[in-house]
Amino acid sequence: MEKVVKPYSEEGEKKNQVRKMFNSIAPAYDFLNHFLSLGIDRSWRKKAIQKLEASQAKKILDVATGTGDLAITAHNLLEVDHITGVDISDEMLEVGRKKLTKKNLNDKIVLLNGDSENLPFEDGTFDAAIVAFGVRNFQNLDKGLTEMSRVIKPGGKMVVLEFTKPRFFLFKFGFNLYFKYVLPLIGRLTSKDPKAYRYLYESVQAFPDYDKFVSHMEKAGLKNNEWESLSMGICAVYTGVK
């Protein structure tokens, strides 16, 4: 049984705690993302979207879209007709909507409040479903993945980008020092939520990665599942086909 890590307390629904946490860090989220990853997060999102290049997907769903960075990357790299982003945090969505307005992308990307575990779309609505750094935050991982699979067309692709635990021991040691101690300290000083970046470390440690995550994709009905490790195992991009 995989351990469920929640942001604030072992008591109470994970979903409510996750929503509260992202609502509180939303104003600092983009800055901290790029600062703490030294900008490498942009290349991870690009790598994930490149997995869709051959599929010619025109209508895409970005789950746990947050401030919309993965959706914007998809728009920039692919020839898409429309992207819908859903998230449970209104504050994250608000930051994202302001970004879309600034970039003049409101007719291409729409951001809606929606729960990955109960998506408000008919079966087979999208050509592809994508998610970056979202699945680890789902309350019920299998329900979220099954819903994502439900709303893509048969033959459609799913792409998941998520943190993993580095395996190479020397790198793992150095990275864990940064991830466990330095990053939560910077997060605490800048985001006004002392627990958020501690949750980031703990949730990654408890989350199924590599083949274990692939077994959840299989359970959700996806085939040809594969993963590719990025940046010495800091994260991985998973792909599967419905």
Ligand X SMILES: C[S@@+](CC[C@H](N)C(=O)[O-])C[C@H]1O[C@@H](n2cnc3c(N)ncnc32)[C@H](O)[C@@H]1O
**155 burial via Cβ count (<10 Å: 0-12, 13-18, 19+):** exposed
- CA-CA distance, 137 to 1, in Å (whole number)? 17
Contact status: 147 vs ligand X (CB under 6 A) = no
C-beta closer to ligand X: residue 129 or 214 = 129
User: Which one of the spans 3-11, 15-23, 98-106, 212-220 is the region binding ligand X (CB under 6 A)?
Assistant: 15-23
Contact status: 134 vs ligand X (CB under 6 A) = yes
Strands (E), the chain: 59-63, 82-87, 109-113, 126-132, 152-163, 223-230, 235-241
- CA-CA distance, 183 to 161, in Å (whole number)? 20
User: Which one of the spans 60-68, 150-158, 188-196, 213-221 is the region binding ligand X (CB under 6 A)?
Assistant: 60-68
List for the chain the helix, strand, coil content (%; round to 5): 50, 20, 30
The one among 32, 47, 52, 65 contacting ligand X by CB under 6 A: 65
C-beta closer to ligand X: residue 102 or 173 = 102
Nearest residue to ligand X by CB is: 66
> Footprint of ligand X on residues 67-96 (CB under 6 A)?
69-70, 86-89, 92
- The answer to whether residues 36 and 29 touch, using CB atoms and an 8 Å cutoff, is no
Nearest-approach distance from CB 173 to ligand X, in angstroms: 25
C-beta closer to ligand X: residue 133 or 227 = 133
Contact status: 18 vs ligand X (CB under 6 A) = yes
- CA-CA distance, 201 to 206, in Å (whole number)? 9
Contact status: 159 vs ligand X (CB under 6 A) = no
- The contact set with ligand X (CB under 6 A) reads 15, 18-19, 22, 64-66, 69-70, 86-89, 92, 115-117, 132-134, 137-138
